[in-house]
Amino acid sequence: MTTTNDDLKLNVNHREKRVTGATIWLTGLPSAGKTTIAYELAGRLHDEGHRVEVLDGDEIREFLSAGLGFSREDRHTNVQRIGFVAELLASNGVKVLVPVIAPYADSREAVRKRHGAEGTSYVEVHVATPVDVCSVRDVKGLYAKQAAGEISGLTGVDDPYEEPESPDLRIESHTQTVQESAASLYALLTERGLA
């Protein structure tokens, strides 16, 4: 079989498409659906041959940010650490899905600027699920614990959550299925040449 220049160009373009990295940060309240949407999208991207990592906020807290509390300063430090790791992976061809609350606008903006300075694609997604829906979902039991007085500083209840003013995409997960939410994000990535 003879390989033509056109065949080689096709293979190179195909390979380049698969190694274009990006950070996709899903911000939103606890139990908004960030992680579920991230894993749904990760599966689709992986099946298509993309290199994908999900940086789960709980795992990061355990392994990378152990010892940090939930003060504003500690939350900022946590987000910056995650942003650093995400940019490092993305700059090496990985699609990095980051389902992390990141409650403060200035912290998220600092991560976006780091990516911009390095020339790495960054997509901010606001999973805009209302707090009353999140409290019913209560995946980790945080809302119940807060209501019972067992914990304080719950983002969106008794600690601030600064909603993104102009995210790249806003997903209202309470009005659509997980698959529909992931598909809308996939469509945006495709539009930007990232999927």
Residue 1 has pLDDT above 70, yes or no: no
> pLDDT category, 5, cuts 50, 70, 90?
low
Residues in the chain: 195
In the predicted structure, residue 96 carries a pLDDT above the cut 60 = yes
Interacting residues of 56 by C-beta distance below 8 A, sequence separation 6+: 35, 99
> What is the rounded distance in angstroms from the CA atom of residue 84 to the CA atom of residue 93?
15
Interacting residues of 125 by C-beta distance below 8 A, sequence separation 6+: 24, 25, 26, 27, 167, 168, 169, 170, 171, 185
Structure confidence at residue 126 (pLDDT): 98
pLDDT at residue 10, as a whole number? 46
Is residue 183 classed exposed, middle or buried when 0-12, 13-18 and 19+ CB atoms within 10 A define those classes?
middle
pTM of the model: 0.87
For residues 39-55, give the mean pLDDT: 97
Q: Would the pLDDT of 82 be above 80?
A: yes
Q: 177: burial class by Cβ within 10 Å (0-12, 13-18, 19+)?
A: exposed
Model confidence at 139, pLDDT cuts 50, 70, 90, reads confident
Q: What share of the chain is helix, strand, coil (3-state, %, to 5)?
A: 50, 15, 35
Query: Mean per-residue pLDDT for 110-122?
Result: 97
Which residues lie below 8 Å from residue 24, measured CB to CB, with a gap of 6+? 38, 41, 95, 96, 97, 98, 123, 125, 185, 189
The mean pLDDT value for 109-119 works out to 97
Q: What is the pLDDT of residues 140-185, one digit of tens each?
A: 999 999 999 999 889 989 899 999 999 999 999 999 999 999 999 9
Which pLDDT does position 16 carry in this prediction?
Answer: 44
Residue 11 has pLDDT above 60, yes or no: no
**What pLDDT does 76 receive?**
96
* pLDDT of res. 58: 87
Element (H, E) at 135: helix 131-137
User: What six digits make up the tokens of 180?
Assistant: 């529909």
The pLDDT score that the predictor gives to residue 142 is 92
- Angle between helix 105-118 and helix 72-90 axes, rounded to 10 deg: 20
Q: Residues 6 or more apart from 36 whose CB is under 8 A from it?
A: 178
- Inform me whether the pLDDT recorded for 2 exceeds 70: no
- Count the neighbouring beta carbons within 10 Å of the beta carbon of residue 164: 19
